[in-house]
A and B are shown apart, each in its own frame.
Chain A
Amino acid sequence: MQKRIMVSTRKGLFELAKRGMGWAIKDAHFLGDNVTLALHDPRDGTDYAALNHGHFGIKLHRRDKGKKKWVEIASPKYPEKPEGLEDKDGWGNDVKWTNQLIWALEIGGPKQKGTVWAGTMPGGLFRSNDKGKTWELMESLWRHPDRNKWLGGGADIPGIHSICVDPRSPDSVRVAISCGGVWATADGGKSWAQSAHGMKFGDGPGADEPDAQDPHMMVQCAGEPEKFWVQHHAGIFKSVNDGKNWTEVKAKPSSFGFAVAVHPEDAKTAWFVPGIKDEKRIPVGGALVVTRTKDGGKTFKSLKKGLPQKNAYDLVFRHGLALDETGKKLAMGSTTGNVWVSENSGDAWKLVSGTLPPVHAVRWA
């Protein structure tokens, strides 16, 4: 049973726990440092925390079950770039073969104890089979010629932010890339294929080119694993056939946003946090809402009870919304340093703290 919420922020990692009827900050780690993402592995109780020190690079820390102390472990590292290799991204810029952000952390299959996946900028996917002691770059994806079509969206360089390990088989893995579409392997990473067909970013030339798509976040329904949701730069998309093709869904008050969560058993139920649009990344009308569909995207309800409805300029990043394993409890953190929890599927929210640093990610643990 998940009893904690790990909140990764610009200036530390905060652990929330239940206190009385509500939630409260129980502990803080890495105070002052930029914690970009955390992961709890329920298979063995391990916690992971990814840090971006800026000057000193990307670091990864681990806390084993029952321990109080975090220990720095190996961070995913890119191999030596072959001398003379011309390696450009989709913008024509040279690709720097160095880890610039750990943007996704996920565990492997239930029987793959110790296996952890990491998505990074500038687009490398890594796997560790020993709890982060060593990391292996997925060369098959990194050396794929279409990687040179990938490009930075909001960031300057491309990156992998979503990793879905299929509950039917851990050899089936899908990753979403900003901007590079969705890539899928069915053989544990030996081969990869583009899987963003049907997504489109507008009406311009090449708008439906899969490699140019900017999925902001992708989630897979555990109970109906052939079904996926993507909050895309240009709207909301869903797939009901293993990502073979995607169809667009329209939501009010806006289809623009970063975060998405899907119910663990019912793929028709999903949550989003809308902003106005790309150039105006703030809530519509200064009123923060979470939108929820229960019918696969035919209709959406704006959930606002407990959320600020005046002068709210919170943005919820792609990892800033998380649903617990029961499908009832949601945690949400914003760039304004607000963290809320809902224990009734988003119908009502309670503010846990309004004074945290900007929130990168929330996760149940």
Chain B
Amino acid sequence: MAKVQFTSNLRRHVDCRTVEVSADTIHQALTQAFAKNERLKTYVLDDQGHLRKHMRVLVDGVAIKDLQTFKDAVQPKSEIWVMQALSGG
């Protein structure tokens, strides 16, 4: 099973525990991660279902390239991180 993990910055706003998923693509992995948590989805994806502008998804340390349809591949033991860029101000 692959793991989908979220950073503590996001946990401050919404429940987002690590979930185990059975997925071949990021799309499948995120769909499973959001299946019981619609609110979490709105924090990560925009109104069109695309990755929000300053969010990143990493698979085994490598940033995914398809930020709209999430076709990037996932391996059975992959570690997927959903994270945000830092901001100042």
Contact = CB atoms under 8 A, between A and B. Distances in A.
**Same complex:** yes
B84 interface: yes
A122 to B, nearest CB: 11
A42 B84 CA distance: 38
Interface string B55-89: 10000000000000000000000000000110101
A55 B52 contact: yes
Given A56-B13, A97-B47, A75 B87 contact: no
Nearest to B89: A10
A98 B48 contact: yes
B46 A98 contact: yes
Contacts of B50: 98
User: Is chain B's interface secondary structure helix, strand, loop, or mixed overall?
Assistant: loop
A98 B52 CA distance: 10
> Looking at A10, A55, A77, which has the most chain B CB atoms within 10 Å of its CB?
A55
A123 to B, nearest CB: 13
A72 B42 CA distance: 12
Interface string B6-28: 00011001000000000000000
A80 interface: yes
Contacts of B53: 55
B36 interface: no
A57 interface: yes
B52 A56 contact: yes
Contacts of A79: 47
A54 B87 contact: yes
A80 B44 CA distance: 17
Contact of A57 (B43, B85, B89): B43
A157 to B, nearest CB: 13
B46 A57 contact: yes
B42 A57 contact: yes
Contact of B39 (A10, A72, A98): A72
A78 interface: yes
Contacts of B55: 55-56
Nearest to B38: A74
Size band of the B side of the interface?
20 to 34
B84 A55 contact: yes
A81 B47 CA distance: 9
B30 to A, nearest CB: 15
Given A72-B39, A75-B42, A57 B52 contact: yes
B48 A97 contact: yes
A80 B54 contact: no
A99 B47 contact: yes
Given A54-B54, A55-B55, A56-B13, A78 B84 contact: no
A286 B50 CA distance: 45
A314 B9 CA distance: 32
Interface in A88-114: 96-99
Interface string A99-137: 100000000000000000000000000000000000000
> Looking at B43, B46, B87, B89, which has the most chain A CB atoms within 10 Å of its CB?
B46
A145 to B, nearest CB: 22
Interface of B: 9-10, 13, 39, 42-44, 46-50, 52-55, 84-85, 87, 89
21 contacts: A10-B89, A54-B87, A55-B84, A55-B87, A56-B10, A56-B13, A56-B44, A56-B84, A57-B42, A57-B46, A75-B42, A77-B42, A77-B47, A78-B47, A79-B47, A80-B48, A97-B47, A98-B46, A98-B47, A98-B50, A99-B47
